[in-house]
Amino acid sequence: MGTTAQQKIDAVSWYHEFDFGNGLRAVPKTPVDSGHRRIWAFIEDQLGRIDFSGKSVLDIGCWDGYWSFLAERRGAKRVLATDDCSQNWAEGQGIHVAKEMLGSSIQIKQDVSVYQLAGLNEQFDIILFLGVWYHLFDPFFALTQLRHCCHPNTFVLMEGSVATDLGSQEVLYNFADHNCEFLPHPDGYRQLVRAAYFSEVGCSFLDPPDVPGRLGWRWRLRLCREVLRGSRDGIRAMASPTPDGKPRLKTANRRMFLTCTPFQGTNELHAYKPPFGLHVYDDRFRG
């Protein structure tokens, strides 16, 4: 019986790791390094501060449902796990297998784009938006869809990649990078959040580990050696943006976890009637 169950698990292209007990484990399709585990531990630590008891939860971009099941374990009354299976490499079976193995009661909808959330016509107590924003082509429109799923006391929990070496209000788009199509400075993302009629009530960052490379301790040690040697070429090579002297591409260097609540009233970021139905939350344009 255990072997048959493990074979069923092994037939799935997993993203997250699961320990189902009795020796049954789900192993991710892609190699999981310490970086992935640090991010997951960071998210789990942040979610540990949230009271899920008796709450309704919407999980956006749920993939294998890892965070949906966590919310259920923490006492959520109802969990709706949503995803758009056309937008990832998995076939969508993992969450169903995990639900069976865990004896879970979460609801699953795998044909819901983040750009169509308002079509659910529901409001939730807690919305999970974890590891999603940096994959979006239109993050602002996505945030407006989240806003339409909120009641006045909803908590929206957002997590994703940011780059602090961008300008404070800058964001970077690179649709050729399928690991990170949209990369904002933390303040740039905060502006999008505010424009979608959310207020930030909490923020935490996960810094990367000190790894070899520019600004890491090994890089600094190598630079000191070049200085002591008096090697101008060596110093230039290390101080230049890249070894070939080309401008260094800005990349994600931190993870940000935002806790937000919706607000209704005057939004200083909108001088005129806001788009995508947001006017219903602004005193100047409602009615």
pLDDT at 38 over 80: yes
Which single residue is written with the structure tokens 């006391």?
Answer: 153
65-111 pLDDT, tens digit each: 999 999 999 999 999 999 998 887 777 899 999 999 999 999 999 99
In whole angstroms, how far apart are CA 48 and each of 42, 45, 74, 157? 10, 5, 9, 12
In whole angstroms, how far apart are CA 280 and each of 164, 177, 273? 33, 36, 10
> What is the model's pLDDT at position 251?
82
Mention every residue, 6+ apart, whose C-beta is less than 8 A from residue 54: 75, 76, 77
Determine which helix (DSSP H) or strand (DSSP E) holds 60, and give its type and residue range: strand 56-60
More confident residue, 242 or 130: 130
227-271 pLDDT, tens digit each: 777 766 555 555 544 444 444 457 889 999 999 999 999 999 999
How many angstroms separate the first and last alpha carbons of the chain?
Answer: 62
In whole angstroms, how far apart are CA 34 and each of 37, 40, 50? 5, 10, 25
pLDDT at 218 over 80: no
- DSSP letter for each residue of 190-215: HHHHHHTTEEEEEEEEEPPP--SSTT
pLDDT at 124 over 80: yes
CA quadruple 86, 90, 96, 102: dihedral sign: negative
> What is the model's pLDDT at position 211?
52
In whole angstroms, how far apart are CA 111 and each of 61, 88, 117, 179? 11, 12, 11, 22
> What is the model's pLDDT at position 246?
45
In single-letter form, the type of residue at position 212 comes to: P
Q: pTM to 2 decimals? A: 0.86
